Structure 1
């Protein structure tokens, strides 16, 4: 990846709808090489997908919960079952396998506390693989970035 690729990627991270013509002006090369570079970056998996970033409050996802999860066991089948369960939960926006006091960190977005309580009691807590869940509620966001500094 060279400096031109980085310029293209930086621009696309700011606005994925940036045209090839606009990218060529930013990168300082003509449109055809920009098109070819973008296609190569997509093929190589550097560009995974294009998305629209939504206002979570306006789409009914005002409450962010960080749930720290401890599993009952670290056997492969238990971990696989937990992964499968989490992947099927649309409320779970992010899931990280952790080292330390907890096994997983989940970022859960729901409308309100009542919806989280229902999710916790009727879904997460019923998962056989889970031994403990510690929930923390986000009071405000100080910084949230989606773009990598290249």
Structure 2
């Protein structure tokens, strides 16, 4: 990946809705080589997908919590079971298997505190493999980005 590829990726991260002609002008190439480079980046799975980023406040998803999860035991079957079950919950935006005092870190996004309580009581806490759930609530988001520095 050279400097031009990195610049193409930066442009796509800033605005994936730009057409190839716009991107080509910004990276200093003509349309055809820009298109070919983008296809190679897609084929190499550097570009995973093109998405629309929504404003969660506008769509009513104003409540963000981070949950630190401890499992009852560190067995491969329990870890795999937890990972599989978290994929079924649309409220979980991110799930990370982590090192340290907890086993997993979850980012939960819902409409409000009552919906969060319902999610914890009726879904997450019912998983047999979960020992403890510690929650932290986002008071203010200072920085949220999807752009990686290359």
TM-score (norm 2): 0.98
In the alignment, which residue of structure 1 is the partner of 2:74? 74
Q: SS at the partner of 1:135?
A: strand
Partner Cα distance (2:57, 2:144) in 1? 15
Paired residues, what number? 150
Secondary structure of 1:94's counterpart equals: strand
RMSD (Å), alpha carbons: 0.6
User: Any idea what SS the aligned residue of 2:114 has?
Assistant: helix
**Structure 2 unmatched ranges of 5 or more:** none
1:47 aligns with 2:35: no
Structure 2 counterpart of 1:59: 59
Match of 2:110 in 1: 110
**1:147 counterpart residue number:** 147
1:97 corresponds to which residue?
97
| C-alpha distance in 2 between matches for 1:20 and 1:95 | 34
Q: Which runs of 5+ in 1 are unaligned?
A: none
1:20 matched to 2:20? The reply is yes
Q: Distance in 2 between matches of 1:34 and 1:74?
A: 48
Distance 1:64 1:90 in 2: 13
